[in-house]
Structure 1
């Protein structure tokens, strides 16, 4: 009888094992990324990932649209396109991106932030409270902003110039009032793949304006963080990407692009 029951339980364990593994494998979030930041810096502004497909990978994140058409902000499962000038719209599901990062946002960490005056101050305040600098974090900050300075770049046409050159065309817009910062923190070891450190986009409270953040100021509030230990990267299926030489160091170009043509707080 003992042998019979042992065989039964062994069979039951083997039957349930794939299900148990699937639960463990799906537990926790992953940061999904399409393309690499160095490819974008080099001028690969057309991808083949649609908004509909992107949103199957996450409900929170950032990126841009094909042709480097402004900024992409994904918040609460909706993709918003912030055009040059700061106005937002919701792109068609068939619209495509050359670079984007999203996750299913499930915050588990709350950081109490002091009053913030400048993007460097924000980055320093969050960095000081991170459990580890070797993980990814999705960061949401809802606040009444004294000011948020954003930029967006007008849609480009081929042949494309490198991003550090195109950034000179950026249109800067200032916002104030209720809104949301959508941020990602990536560890230093993703250099060349993503933006090491912080990358912030912004949406107004009524979702009618936004862009890439160059500076911000707001009173004390909470930052909500989703700690992410898994990273998934899809590479574009394109000859433009395949022909690139991605062996160089584009850190200087990235600094210019992230801060704008000049540092602005």
Structure 2
């Protein structure tokens, strides 16, 4: 009886030690999320920032400085806001750029993503976007009017335009690195997400939930992006950099924080 009890105690201790060891040695992929403005104006967002001359000598120097710092992370993958189905064409352009046969256009995908990938000597820049239209846009507007909730959309517009003015002022006075540091502050990310949760989600509440459905369209797109991210990260990846429009970052950050395969790296800890 004593012998059996001793063996049982040993097995429990062994299982505890192997479990603890497994947890300590579990590999986590570091992921740096960079919320950015769109350098060009794709006209896909309801509220858009005025564009700047990112091809000017000043901005090009700033982009070199930015990507030099980011390259020190030794990232094994760089992911950009380009549809996953465009991977082949993106690969072709990236290969032309690496061999000096392609001039980077005005897009943060190339100006930051391609430039950084070349410095990291990556073979590919990963496309992880998935575009879903906001199918409930017209229903939300009609519902707001019908339910005397147009004030919500008006308040939303005031807040969104205030944010854009702030970012535009920052862009005029600051370097690209300083703008990115500002955009990725927790309070700025929270402001962006609150547009959906504070205003839009209320529209049609208790009736047809048009606002909630609109917000679900936005979450669906980000969930699809998240699934593309995690699907393209493999066990050999130690550090991933994601470059996306700032509005996506709060949701993607929340999703990745709750996946224990990843460790979030704060941008302000890299861009000092």
TM-score by length of 1: 0.26
Greater percentage in helix: 2
Work out which of the two has the higher radius of gyration on C-alpha atoms and give 1 or 2. 2
**Highest RCO, 1 vs 2 (Cα 8 Å, sep ≥ 6):** 2
Greater percentage in strand: 1
